């Protein structure tokens, strides 16, 4: 079922009464996601998993950080799902997240790893101190 939003503003035919909203209903867009994963099997698995949710629109999947820096796509994305260990020769997940924030200051960044992330979190805290990134670690495994 679509979600509707009521807007205040001057889009009504006449000015709204003081304290009364000008009611215009809009259907909310789906959450636009880009996904960056260097493992092709995992990238395909998550793509298929996300495609099952009508409220999520995958607008880009990438195998490396450099490819994910597509400005046109990054500006449209609401969220980026990024593997921490992308490439030893290119950007890692944290560096890519910061670069995407430079393109789109409103994009949500989710960085994940299948490995122990203690060193990653320490590095992320240093790199993200001026980027308003929230770092979560030690999340419980989901069965």
The torsion angle over the Cα atoms of residues 42, 43, 48 and 51, rounded to 10 degrees, is 140
* pLDDT at 143 exceeding the cut of 60: no
Q: Confidence band (pLDDT; 50, 70, 90) for 76?
A: very high
Mean pLDDT of 79-85: 90
Buried b (16+ CB within 10 A) or exposed e, 72-100: ebbeebbebbbbbbbbeeebbbbbbbbeb
Strand, helix or coil for residue 101 = helix
| Predicted local distance difference test score (pLDDT) of residue 41 | 92
- The backbone torsions φ and ψ at residue 60, rounded to the nearest 5 degrees and listed phi first, read -170, 135
Adjacent-strand bridge partners of 31: 56
Tell me the per-residue pLDDT of 15-29, one tens digit each, with 9 for 90 and over: 555 655 555 555 567
Global confidence as pTM: 0.66
């Amino acid at each position: 079922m679509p979600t509707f939003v009521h807007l205040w503003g001057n889009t009504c035919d006449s000015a709204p009464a003081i304290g009364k909203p000008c009611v215009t209903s809009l259907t909310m867009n789906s959450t636009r996601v880009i996904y960056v994963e260097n493992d092709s099997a995992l990238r395909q698995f998550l793509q298929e998993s996300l495609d099952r949710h009508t409220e999520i629109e995958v607008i880009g999947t990438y195998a490396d950080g450099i490819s994910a820096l597509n400005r046109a796509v990054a500006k449209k994305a609401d969220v980026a799902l990024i593997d921490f260990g992308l490439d030893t020769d290119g950007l890692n997940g944290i560096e890519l997240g910061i670069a995407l924030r430079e393109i789109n200051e409103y994009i949500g960044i989710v960085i994940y790893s299948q490995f122990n992330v203690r060193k990653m979190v320490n590095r992320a805290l240093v790199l993200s101190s001026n980027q308003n990134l929230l770092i979560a670690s030690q999340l419980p495994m989901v069965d």
